[in-house]
Amino acid sequence: MGICVDNEIYTTQTHLTEEDLEIRNRLFWSCYFWDKIISLYLGRSPSLRHTKISPPQKLLDDSSEDEIWIPHGLSYPAGQGYPPTKSHATSCFTQMCRLSVIFHQILLHMYDREQDHIDTERQQCVEDQGHALSVWWQDLPEHLRIDPVSLPPFAPPSHINTMNCLFHTFSILLYRPMVFGSTSVQVGYGLEADYLRKCIASANAIVFIYDLFCRTFGESRVILSLLYSVYTAASIFLLQIQASGESNAQVSKRLHYCVGALERAKEQAPVLQQALALLKKELSKLELKAHPAGPKYPNHEIQGTSVPADYVQDQSAFLAGPAFQTSPSAASYGLPEFDFSDVQVDPSIFEAFSTLEPISVQVGALEENW
């Protein structure tokens, strides 16, 4: 169809209106993003490339930016509905396009099974894409940023939640191989400690943002991208426990929180079966039992149906302030106590990390003849 070509520069005999160009640009970048996500889930090489002839990362129609976003199909108690919130769909889409270009490089140089990655290549990728991720985060508009240390009482629109979780997921996928046994390149304790801190901070950020999403919209509205982020966070918590050689109560609670979230979502997302099997296998080696029970999230009903009586009371407490400060169930999983500035790294822990291998980044498997 030629949508991978910038038709404003490389004109064709077919006349394209501004609307045609807008549709083609949006379609290309949507396909480009999902190509990376599906490649990650299934372990295949990305198909779509970003080149000098690709459509630009700009949208002519920004009318959706200031539209009021409504969580369709949810019923809140009287007087306690979701507050009027701008969609910011245009700026979020543009930023997601930028983020997907960075992640494309991470996939190619760190996880593409069709390539033989040398350690120096991975280290260069970490330096280049680590800087790119930092610049992306610094340039991210305030209205698109979710600060896990200072969470709002309500989750922002779902696409903003997803983008923030994926940023932290991509950060983990970039730095994890440089800390845990997947590379022999020597980068020094200072850099390794920094990589580890970033992995731990991102893992906790994912759990915080995911929990906020569920408390605002209900657990049944979670999409696979968010669940994959939880799986990635669980891989870090698991490695922390494996490396420590002893039970870490806070980390253990967060790991079981993730396992419980995946367990409850496996029926609506069967591809998670493999992810759960990997986690449970490693838990059994540590003689730890998975605890599928988790925080009691509001049961948001479809419009026109009844709302459980206990939900009104739970939601009143939720609306009174930040979700993590007002939810005993979240506190029981060690969520609110985490301080992002308190990520300490003992030099001796890297000896243990060097012998560990993280669980697979895949949550699905390809047939041999794919």
Q: Is the pLDDT of residue 155 over 60?
A: yes
Please state the rounded mean pLDDT for residues 39-62.
84
In terms of domains, do 307 and 345 share one? yes
In terms of domains, do 112 and 182 share one? no
Q: Is the pLDDT of residue 16 over 60?
A: yes
Please state the rounded mean pLDDT for residues 47-61.
82
CB 227 within 8 A of CB 267: no
Q: Is the pLDDT of residue 87 over 70?
A: yes
Q: Is the pLDDT of residue 247 over 80?
A: no
* Residue 218 within a domain: yes
* Residue 141 within a domain: no
In terms of domains, do 332 and 203 share one? yes
In terms of domains, do 107 and 211 share one? no
Please state, in angstroms and rounded to a whole number, the distance separating the CA atoms of residues 300 and 317. 15
Within 10 angstroms of residue 339's Cβ, the number of other Cβ atoms is 8
Better pLDDT: 116 or 72: 72
Please state the rounded mean pLDDT for residues 340-361.
62
Contacts of 15 (CB under 8 A, 6+ apart): none
In terms of domains, do 113 and 10 share one? yes
Q: Is the pLDDT of residue 320 over 50?
A: no
**The predicted structure's pLDDT at residue 229:** 96
In terms of domains, do 169 and 299 share one? yes
* Residue 136 within a domain: no
Counting residues of the chain whose pLDDT is more than 90, the rounded percentage is 34
**The predicted structure's pLDDT at residue 262:** 93
CB 225 within 8 A of CB 103: no
Q: How confident is the model at residue 97 (pLDDT cuts 50, 70, 90)?
A: very high
Q: How confident is the model at residue 9 (pLDDT cuts 50, 70, 90)?
A: low
In terms of domains, do 178 and 299 share one? yes
Please state, in angstroms and rounded to a whole number, the distance separating the CA atoms of residues 208 and 44. 30
CB 251 within 8 A of CB 283: no
Better pLDDT: 351 or 307: 351
* C-alpha distances in Å from residue 187, one per residue of 131, 190, 195: 16, 8, 10
Q: Is the pLDDT of residue 289 over 80?
A: no
Please state the rounded mean pLDDT for residues 210-214.
93
Q: Is the pLDDT of residue 299 over 80?
A: no
CB 193 within 8 A of CB 276: no
* Residue 132 within a domain: no
Q: Where is average pLDDT lowest: 29-33, 73-77, 93-97, 358-362?
A: 73-77
Please state, in angstroms and rounded to a whole number, the distance separating the CA atoms of residues 93 and 159. 9
**The predicted structure's pLDDT at residue 342:** 52
In terms of domains, do 158 and 45 share one? no
| Chain centroid to CA 75 | 27
**The predicted structure's pLDDT at residue 115:** 73
**The predicted structure's pLDDT at residue 8:** 66
* Residue 47 within a domain: yes
Please state the rounded mean pLDDT for residues 350-357.
61
Q: Is 301 helix (H, G, I), strand (E, B) or coil?
A: strand
Report H helices in 118-157.
119-139
In terms of domains, do 100 and 202 share one? no
In terms of domains, do 279 and 366 share one? yes
In terms of domains, do 89 and 37 share one? yes
Q: How confident is the model at residue 345 (pLDDT cuts 50, 70, 90)?
A: low
User: Quick one: CA dihedral 273, 277, 283, 289, positive or negative?
Assistant: positive
* Residue 327 within a domain: yes
- Retrieve residue 208's tokens: 């915080």
* Residue 239 within a domain: yes
Average pLDDT score, the chain: 78
pTM score, whole prediction: 0.83
**The predicted structure's pLDDT at residue 23:** 87
* Residue 138 within a domain: no
In terms of domains, do 89 and 159 share one? no
Dihedral, 36, 39, 45, 49 alpha carbons, nearest 10: -20
CB 253 within 8 A of CB 204: no
Q: How confident is the model at residue 290 (pLDDT cuts 50, 70, 90)?
A: low
Phi, psi of 68 (to 5 degrees): -75, 125
Most confident of 189-193, 342-346, 347-351: 189-193
Contacts of 66 (CB under 8 A, 6+ apart): 86, 87
Q: How confident is the model at residue 60 (pLDDT cuts 50, 70, 90)?
A: confident
Residue-range definition of the domain harbouring residue 271: 146-370
Rg of the chain (C-alpha set): 21
What domain count does the chain have?
2
Q: How confident is the model at residue 354 (pLDDT cuts 50, 70, 90)?
A: low
